[in-house]
Amino acid sequence: MIGRLAPPWDGLLLDARLATLRDDLGAYGAIEDGVLAWKEGLIAWAGPRAELPGEPEALARRVESAQRRWITPGLVDCHTHLVFAGDRALEFERRLQGASYEQIAREGGGILSTVRATRAADEAGLLSASLARARALLADGVTTVEIKSGYGLDLDSERAMLRVARRIGEELGIGVRATCLAAHALPPEYAGRADDYIAAVCEWLPELHAEGLVDAVDAFCEGIGFSPAQVRRLFEVARGLGLPVKLHADQLSDLGGAALVAEFGGLSADHIEYADEQAVRAMAAAGTVAVLLPGAFHVLRETQLPPITALREHAVPMAVASDLNPGTSPLLSLRLAMSLACTHFRLTPEEALRGATVNAARALGLHDRGRLLPGQRADFVQWDIAHPAELAYWLGGGLAHAVHVAGVAHHHG
């Protein structure tokens, strides 16, 4: 690998402060007088200026100064529902006036109101609405994003959502992982027939996978979603196709979802406010990442905290994601999710940054990004900050000076 990444390099940044997130360098894997170089879309060198094997101009085709800015790996948003039509602002207002989530759902609101709007939208309209949201994430430092289907709930609409997810990656030049979440809610035409609907989803999955539209399979395992037995049927089909699984687990109650996804060697268990210590042990043994979603916790004014202490004790990697969706987490900034994770869940700013980079990449099964190391993708962000803790400290504001994907600057603040 390093042979391929030998000089001359494509680009080199001097006068940089690097938060490499290497485990052998202390807090943030920090290098104060650092140099970052890349070649063919990969990091070729990340280390102290003093150890640079020659003069910068002799090593790289293009040399620039980072002007003492901090550089982190590109952020990875490992749980979003950013492809949808319409919005649910009026429901937000009604909830504040005392209506419950269940009551709104019974009246035809909730997920099903987004399903109606998404089914009615054409693909071009869906793409343009969703691109605006993806651009907001990119401007705030996100270079890889996971996008779930789940607002179509029929084969054609789910396919359209997954196609739009792929298009977003092509249009913006960022990494996109597309997740099939057809088992998100029961569509009206299957009312009272959840088993039949799961059987239909199990038939769609091989078709969508054959079209190259699915990187992973997810489900909503909850009293208002699908039972562990129904999820198990879906996961068995996914396993037969060689597709990794992840799960919306134990968000509103403990149905054993985190333990179920661990049993299938799943990439991640997401939400997990109600997961118990046994589930955490199962996740640790399976290498399943805990994805914390403080946006939904915040918007729904939840009080049951995820088992953070147990996750730390059993060394389960914790990721932080935006959960960007129209109903419970209309959050257009992964950095704000990091901040909320610190405030609500007591993560340290460093845990939050690792949660939105290296651990989030692991939650997507990606091991080629998330740290500043030679051979990793050259996804990195130059930030206008004096210390990495500021990424979780400021609530909003444009801190990203430049966002680079595979070495190419895609956004300038």
Asked if residue 79 belongs to a known ligand binding site, the reply is yes
Task: Give me 171's structure tokens.
Answer: 């249009």
In a 3-state reduction of DSSP, which class is residue 263?
helix
Asked if residue 33 belongs to a known ligand binding site, the reply is no
- Sign of CA pseudo-dihedral 281, 287, 288, 292: positive
CA separation, residue 11 to residues 132, 139, 166 (Å): 29, 22, 28
- What is the residue-wise DSSP string for 329-353? B----HHHHHHHHHHHH---HHHHH
CA separation, residue 76 to residues 142, 245, 319 (Å): 6, 18, 9
Asked if residue 327 belongs to a known ligand binding site, the reply is yes
Asked if residue 88 belongs to a known ligand binding site, the reply is yes
C-beta neighbour count of 167 within 10 angstroms:
18
Q: Which residues of 58-73 are buried (b: 16+ CB within 10 A; e: fewer)?
A: ebbeebeebeebbbbb
Asked if residue 151 belongs to a known ligand binding site, the reply is yes
- Sign of CA pseudo-dihedral 73, 396, 130, 153: positive
Asked if residue 251 belongs to a known ligand binding site, the reply is yes
Asked if residue 323 belongs to a known ligand binding site, the reply is yes
- Sign of CA pseudo-dihedral 299, 351, 378, 139: positive
Contact 289, 282 (CB under 8 A): no
Q: What angle do CA 295, 359, 242 make, to 5 degrees?
A: 100
Asked if residue 359 belongs to a known ligand binding site, the reply is no
Contact 22, 374 (CB under 8 A): no
Asked if residue 248 belongs to a known ligand binding site, the reply is yes
Binding-site residue set for N-formimidoyl-L-glutamate:
151, 325, 327
Binding-site residue set:
79, 81, 88, 151, 184, 248, 251, 323, 325, 327-328
Binding-site residue set for Fe(3+):
79, 81, 248, 323
Binding-site residue set for 4-imidazolone-5-propanoate:
88, 151, 184, 251, 328
Binding-site residue set for Zn(2+):
79, 81, 248, 323
